[in-house]
Amino acid sequence: MNGVLVSGLIRSGTTWVGRVLATAENTIYIHEPFNPDSEWNACFPLPSHMMHITSEYGGIYEGPFSKILKLEPLFRGNWRNQVSESVYSYIDKETNGIKKNVIPIIKDPVALFSIEWLVNTHYLKPVIVLRHPIGIVKSQIRLGWIKGNKLVGIARQRSLVETFYNQQDQRLLHENMANWSNIGTADQMCLFVRFMYLSIIYYIKKYPEWLYICYEDISNNPEQLLDVMDRTGLKQSEDTHQRLGSNKIASYDPDKAHQNVLEAIPYDKQRLFEADQYSDDWEYLYHKHFSDITQVVSRYVSWD
């Protein structure tokens, strides 16, 4: 088994899902090799953020990523020596020095636009986490991830734009990118999340057989993740049952990302639309930016 890929939008609950799946027997958790801020990215450096890798030009990335899956990452360059020691120390600790047959759980929402390549080239089993888009928007704003024109990195990747967006969305993308400074913060983040979410719509339509799970559902019933383990071929461990839904590692802090917490945060629709300094009417913004998305994902979600 080559491994499991847990992806979705940033702040959709992928860290929680990935860490729970990594309690299965003979697994190892690998954190965001596509993310420039992750140690794992030092062995898989990419020229741009949120990159769209395809089979057409992804050949140069196949070797480095295959090495990650084999738990033999390559670190080229003296500046990466310290990172290399840290990563290999982690691998040795998590595998007890025996890497054979260990199943990597790749958790990476930054790889969102490259899921198709990762699944078709490296035969990873995809687990795509869906979450209410307003919950994602508000979480990213709360963390302060609102700086810069967030559409530029998407719009500059021609293959990405042509793959995931129809002509109407392409026009919307370029118009809003050009007018970014005149758009309010809440609308800016809604637009960014919309264009990220459209990639998931693409996957749902093209690969309905992939595994899509709803954060709101599993947060209210974490034991549904046991079914996810079964469907991805993972074997539950004693650690799984002891830690699933528990708060034995740390306390959840909504103002921090990438927490080592296995406690579910229940979905609360009433709080989701509460007014704040960025908008008095989040429900309006939801219908403005995401109504068409809701129709496509309705078979997987329990938002209403």
> What digits encode the pLDDT tens for the residues 200-244?
999 999 999 999 999 988 888 888 999 999 999 999 998 888 777
**Pair 234, 21: CB distance under 8 Å:** yes
CA distances from 80 to 61, 90, 108, 266 (A): 18, 15, 21, 40
**Mean pLDDT throughout 152-160?**
95
pLDDT classification of 249: cutoffs 50, 70, 90:
very low
pLDDT classification of 246: cutoffs 50, 70, 90:
low
Instruction: Name the 3-class secondary structure at 228.
Output: helix
Both structure tokens of 186: 């809440």
Euclidean distance between CA atoms 137 and 103, whole angstroms: 32
Q: In 10 A of CB 142, how many CB atoms? A: 14
Paired residues of 127 in beta bridges: 6, 211
CA distances from 109 to 7, 21, 230, 290 (A): 5, 15, 22, 19
The label of the residue with tokens 């927490």 reads 259
* DSSP code for 183: S
Residue 20 has pLDDT above 50, yes or no: yes
Both structure tokens of 220: 């209210």
pLDDT classification of 250: cutoffs 50, 70, 90:
very low
Q: How many Å separate Cα 241 from the centre of its chain?
A: 24
Euclidean distance between CA atoms 256 and 244, whole angstroms: 21
Euclidean distance between CA atoms 190 and 231, whole angstroms: 32
Euclidean distance between CA atoms 278 and 264, whole angstroms: 26
**Pair 216, 268: CB distance under 8 Å:** no
pLDDT classification of 252: cutoffs 50, 70, 90:
very low
Q: What share of the chain is helix, strand, coil (3-state, %, to 5)?
A: 50, 10, 40
Residue 274 has pLDDT above 60, yes or no: yes
pLDDT classification of 160: cutoffs 50, 70, 90:
very high
Euclidean distance between CA atoms 148 and 67, whole angstroms: 34
**Mean pLDDT throughout 94-104?**
93
Euclidean distance between CA atoms 52 and 161, whole angstroms: 9
Residue 136 has pLDDT above 70, yes or no: yes
What local confidence, expressed as pLDDT, does residue 49 receive?
A: 84
Euclidean distance between CA atoms 59 and 54, whole angstroms: 9
Q: Give the helix/strand (H/E) hosting 248.
A: none
Residue 258 has pLDDT above 70, yes or no: no
214 — alpha (psi -120 to 50), left (phi > 0) or beta?
A: beta
Rg (CA), the chain: 19
